[in-house]
Structure 1
């Protein structure tokens, strides 16, 4: 039996509060600050987001859109991924949009926004345009990442708006089998997937999400799709990351150089579950599978973005 995203999101929110209140030294993960809550009107619909701008940064080194899992919020995603700290260290801004019904119209047809025809690609694109103009971000340095449903949405953004996003880093989210993906230009992709994911099956097929069942691409098929789109060569020998003794092992499989200087990198976490690598373990392993400590997905994704700007 596969767990529904609807159970996972509230658990994340509750656990983040518990981490903030109880865990020594956890405030960097659980209480990101300062916050700038805001809204943007897209097609007559008010959409909310949280924005983090590092103090004293006049010329941001980029913009990262960080997308939450279904059943969660942008603030939950910030707390889970500690992306504010990475932004502060490297001088970029990060925005955490909120999905309608705590989900995304990611093309699988299994969410409320998908069924209602919500234009999440339009929402996020308009938000990016606004932030790029306001903070004078180089348009070749706009990126997207996300967990679970947020990972599905990050892939959809790259499929639909490759002109806007130079690179994406989806975690534990691929694409619906019927989601069209014919981007007009290459997009660099860093995909992170656990082989023991109990929610989004590594081998693809039917999964049960917050809004119902959907059929999805396997992680290897998703990586192969991007490899073909980007005209990549065969993979180099896998880079085995050092073991941390947590029962997981990570292979970094790189396809490069691809068209227009892009790359596709597959972070295959053998024995890994439905988690954000390097994040605190706020959910039980029986719910989401084993967490890996072999790398930090937040720092790893920024390093990839920084190296694959346009």
Structure 2
């Protein structure tokens, strides 16, 4: 089971056993029998140019991963680092790699140790590992991390100073910084960085030490050097996190630079009361562009990442894939399924997929239903999906229809479809969808994009999102299904709507919606795939707000032909027509039981 931290800044505290010695191991670190094969804790050994690194077998090669390197201390091993830190047990969003030094030490950048004298190219070794792992697996762009203990911590500082463009964040444990590296360090790219150090460390002292060959700066001096490189002489502040635990940091910065100082802690990975492994992973997640909630993966198609959430794996259950559509403000992400997915997951394998630019999927310059429809068959292949019951909310019903036009193989994988308040694919209704605000957006084009880019929609968007939040809360206030609502997931996805990038996606997708509709204008239902339609009376709200009689008449016609068309689609295809006497459009939140029963009926055929 994967663990998640959701950008928390609070440190978990437990009583931890201390690990003594620069290259020491915990009691659960098993020995290596040879330089090949599988070790006792399950990590495999990989050879690369006569060097070695260790990692767990990768079972899912379709998903995209973050990449984390963990470097052992002097005299240690990659497998020993794995046994001590257990970083690979924290999250299945990371490929965790435990490299082995060529000799007993890393070439840490001080020009003062055995690895330097022997000319060991450890920076090149890291370059080679990154290249090999990117070639073998789907590594998320910009999501590479490193941590190291003791002399391995000194080495990750060398990575910080000489490979900052490669790493999103780096953490060193039990190591300050050498005089030499402090004098030469230069970041080509601002990089998130943290030092974690016990003040009673006698091996690599917290307060540094003077030495003709191997002098050490203090950890406060080291963090100031990196802070100045990241921020240009910014001032730090201190904050007490726990009894004897102090955080030195630079507040209100996009790039984090931190020192965690622990009174009484010696030269150890576990800096009691800090739980080091979990704290490091929290830090990495807080800096990540993709802080993924439980059940979520990123699947790469071409150069884009699609957010896919799959809560349970039940091979003997029918498979449901849910695609989101727009609410009244044209927000169209998987927040609308925050209740329905957990509710259905006891009886179905339920996947939720966000379009590009929606939720936690990556952004794109040309968002559209057509783009999603083109990539959906590829996603099905990567996820190994077949015999799928496809659920479409609102205007997302056009996506599978476009995809089926492009791919007969995709069509064969769809067992049934369930549409909730779908787009009505008749000339009058299509004209309604292509009217306001789509026509206005298309008319203003670049002027509107420039307006939004300048942040001039932010206040209006803040109000709309707050209204949506309050509306959903009111819907569930007395709902018998409220217990199934995943508020953590809902709130995380809702937060993605605030950014200017998200606002631009919304504008561009609405502009392209006109052309999306043209692709399904001539669609006709048949009996090849049963389609059940759940139909609310949400149109009544628009009719009541109509400002002219002409507009009112058009909306009334839209509602009437929508009722008739939805009934015909269900009848011709062999599905059900399920009307509900409610003006609430957010059917996934208000009628989960009706949706479940409809899917049970479809999947039982």
TM over 0.5: yes
Show the counterpart of 1:218: 218
CA distance in 1, matches of 2:215, 2:281: 30
Deviations for 1:190-221, whole angstroms, at most 9, x for unmatched residues? Answer: 110111001001111247xxxx9511111111
2:240 corresponding residue in structure 1: 239
Residue 88 of structure 2 is aligned to residue 84 of structure 1 = yes
From 21, 29, 35, the counterpart of 1:16: 29
Where in structure 2 are there 5+ consecutive unaligned residues? Answer: 1-20, 32-38, 290-605
Residue in 1 aligned with 2:130?
Answer: 128
Name the residue aligned to 2:262: 269
CA deviation string 1:156-196 (max 9, x = no partner):
10100111011100001232211221111111111101110
* Contact residue 195 and residue 259 of structure 2 kept, 8 A: yes
Distance 2:236 2:22 in 1: 34
Does the CA-based 8 Å contact 1:194-1:274 persist in structure 2? yes
Which of 199, 204, 207 is residue 200 of structure 1 equivalent to? 204
**Given the alignment of the two structures, is residue 138 of structure 1 paired with residue 151 of structure 2, yes or no?**
no
**How far did residue 61 of structure 1 move?**
3.6
The Cα of 1:129 is off from its aligned counterpart by 2.0
Q: Using the TM superposition, give the Cα deviation of residue 64 of structure 1 relative to its aligned residue in structure 2, in angstroms.
A: 0.5
The offset of 1:69, in angstroms, is 0.1
- Once residues 92 and 17 of structure 1 are traced to their aligned partners in structure 2, the CA distance between those partners, rounded to angstroms, is 22
- Tell me how far apart the structure 1 counterparts of residues 44 and 236 of structure 2 sit (CA, whole Å): 42
Report the 3-state secondary structure (helix = DSSP H, G, I; strand = E; otherwise coil) of the residue aligned with 1:303.
helix
Residue 253 of structure 1 corresponds to: 248
CA change 1:129–1:256 in 2 (3 A) is farther
1:178 is paired with a residue of what secondary structure? helix
SS at match of 2:170: strand
1:167–1:308 contact (8 Å) kept in structure 2: yes
**Matched residue of 1:102: which SS?**
coil
- Contact 1:193/1:268, CA 8 A, preserved across alignment: yes
Distance, in Å, in 2 between the alignment partners of 1:129 and 1:273 is 36
Larger radius of gyration between Structure 1 and Structure 2: 2
TM-score (norm 2): 0.40
How far is 1:302 from its partner?
1.5
1:106 corresponds to which residue? 108
Distance in 1 of aligned mates of 2:40 and 2:64: 22
Aligned length: 259
Cα 1:235–1:31, aligned 2, differ >3 Å: closer, same or farther? farther
Structure 1 residues 54 and 299: CA distance shift in structure 2, 3 A: farther
Whole-angstrom distance in 2 between the partners of 1:8 and 1:15: 17
Report SS of the residue matched to 2:258.
strand
2:230 alignment partner in structure 1: 230
| CA apart distance, 1:90 | 4.2
| 1:264, distance to aligned residue in structure 2 (A) | 0.6
- Which blocks of at least 5 consecutive residues in structure 1 are unaligned? 1-6, 19-29, 244-248, 278-291
Identify which of 51, 54, 77 aligns with 1:50: 54
Q: Superposed, which structure 2 residues align to 1:66-77 within 5 Å?
A: 66-77=70-81
Query: Following the alignment from structure 1 to structure 2, what is the Cα–Cα distance between the partners of residues 127 and 235?
Result: 35
SS of 1:184 mapped into structure 2: coil
Contact 1:108 1:215 in 2 (8 A): no
Deviates more, 1:219-228 or 1:292-301: 292-301
Structure 1 counterpart SS, 2:142: coil
- Give CA-to-partner distance per residue, 1:59-117, whole Å, 9 cap, x none: 2441110000000011111111111211xx34211101111212100012343211112
Structure 2 Cα separation of the partners of residues 169 and 100 of structure 1: 22
TM norm structure 1:
0.77
CA, structure 1 residues 66+239, in 2 after alignment: closer, same or farther (shift >3 Å)?
Answer: same
Q: CA RMSD in A?
A: 2.4
